Amino acid sequence: MSSWRERGLAFRFLVAQLLVVAASLAAAVMVASMAGPPIFHEHLLMAGHPENSPELLHVEQAYRDTNLITLGVALGTALMCALVVSAWCSRRLRRPLEQLTKAAQGMAHGRNDTRVPAMGAGAEVDALAGAFNTMASRLQHTEDTRRRMLSDLAHEMRTPISVLSVYLEALQDGVTSWDEATNELMADQLSRLTRLVEDINDVSRAEEGRIDLDRTEHPVGELVRAAAEAHREAYTVKGVTLTVDADDAEVVTVDRQRMGQVLGNLLTNALRHTPPGGTVTVRATTHGPRRLAIQVADTGDGIAGKHLSQVFERFYRGDTARDRDHGGSGIGLTISKALTEAHGGTLTATSPGPGQGAVFTVELPRHPQHSPRTTRTTV
C-alpha cells in the first residue's frame, strides 16, 4: 500500500487505464467466446448448411479467428490509447501541482510573497490556485502587520522604559533623590506603559471580534453630552470651546461604555490637535432612514490628504496627524474604529488639509423616532 502511494501521478493514471481496458476486453472475450459461436452456428443452420458439414466448420473457425484478431488489435489500440491519455493527463495536472508544491514549500520557508499564476488546467485546479493565492496574501498581510506592530510597540515602549531606567540608576547612584517631581515622572511613565498595554489588548480583541457588547437603546443626545461632560475640565484648562449639537429623540442600540470610549477617544484626539482658542463641535445628524452620524469636528491641525487613509492604523503618525509630541498611545483611533465596526457602524475621517481642521464621523444604525428635540450646549 505504501509503495502504491509513493508512485507518481502518471503511473497511477496508467494503472487505472489498464484496469479499465482489461475489464472491457475480458467482458468482450467472454461475450464473443460464449454467446457468439452458438448464435452464429444457429444462423448458419437456418441458412441451409447441414450439421457437421465441412463448410460449416470452416465458417465457424473463421469466425473464431476473426474474433481473436479483432480483440488483439483492440487490445493493442486500447493499451496505446491508455498510455497516451495517461501521459497527457498526468503531464497536464503534474505541472500545476508541482508549481503549487513549490509555492507551498516557499511559504513554509518564510517567503510569503510567493504566488502561483493561472494555470489553465481546469476549473478545479484554477480554483485551488486562487485559494492558495488568497491564503498567501492574507498570511503576508498578517505577517507584515505583526512585524510592524512589534516594531512600533518596541519603539513606543523604549521611551518610558529608558526614562524609568535612567531615573532608577540615578536613584541607586545617589545622583537624585525621591521627591515629588520624581514620583510624578515615574508615575506618568508607568501609566503610559499601562495604557499602552491596555490599548493593545482592546484593539486586538475588538478586531478579532472577542469583545462582548452589552447593547441597549440610548438617546444619542445623552451619549454625546455624557462624553462631553467627562472632558469638560480638560477643554476648559486648554481654552478650547466644546459645542454639543444633538437630537434627544434619536435612539441607537449600543454598548454605552464602549461607545463612550469611542467618543472619548475622538474628543481627546480633537483636543490634542486643537490650539487654545479653537473650537470642537460634536453634532448628531441623520444619514437616510437607517443611519445616524455623530461628527466630531475641530478647527485644529488638520490632516494632509495622503494621511487620511492611514490615520486609523496602529501607531501611525503623520506629519500633523498624531505626532509623539502630542502624547497618547498612538492607537486610540484604531480602537475607536474597531469598536465602531463591532457595533455595525463605520468611522471615517475628512479634512480640507493641514491647518484647516478635521472631521471624524461615526455612523451607526438608527431607530426612527418622532417629535425630535434638539439641544445645544457649550462647554
The domain ranges of the chain are 2-111, 124-207, 215-378
Sequence-ordered list of residues with C-beta below 8 angstroms from that of 58, at least 6 positions apart, any chain: none
Torsion of CA 167, 169, 172, 177, to 10 degrees: -20
What's the pLDDT at 60? 67
What's the pLDDT at 379? 39
The answer, as to whether pTM is greater than 0.85, is no
Give how far the C-alpha of residue 376 lies from the chain's centroid of Cα atoms, to the nearest Å.
42
Superfamily of 215-378 according to CATH: Histidine kinase-like ATPase, C-terminal domain (3.30.565.10)
Torsion of CA 306, 307, 312, 313, to 10 degrees: 90
- For residue 370, give Cα distances in angstroms to 220, 248, 250, 252, 367: 14, 10, 8, 14, 10
Q: Is the dihedral of CA 120, 122, 125, 126 positive or negative?
A: positive
What's the pLDDT at 281? 93
Sequence-ordered list of residues with C-beta below 8 angstroms from that of 108, at least 6 positions apart, any chain: none
Helix/strand/coil for 239: coil
What's the pLDDT at 263? 92
Contact 336, 265 (CB under 8 A): yes
- Could you give the CA distance from residue 332 to residue 313 in angstroms, rounded to a whole number? 10
Fold adopted by 124-207: Helix Hairpins (1.10.287)
Closest CA to 318 of 308, 329, 328: 308
372's grid cell: 425630535
**Full pLDDT tens readout for the chain, 379 residues:** 445 454 555 566 667 767 777 777 677 777 766 666 666 666 666 766 667 667 666 666 777 777 777 777 777 777 777 777 777 776 666 777 777 777 777 777 777 777 777 666 666 677 777 787 788 887 777 777 677 667 767 777 777 888 888 888 888 888 878 888 888 888 888 887 887 777 777 777 766 667 778 889 988 888 899 999 989 889 999 999 999 988 777 888 998 888 998 999 899 999 999 999 999 999 988 877 778 899 999 998 888 888 887 788 766 655 434 444 444 556 778 888 888 988 889 999 999 888 889 999 999 987 655 444 444 444 3
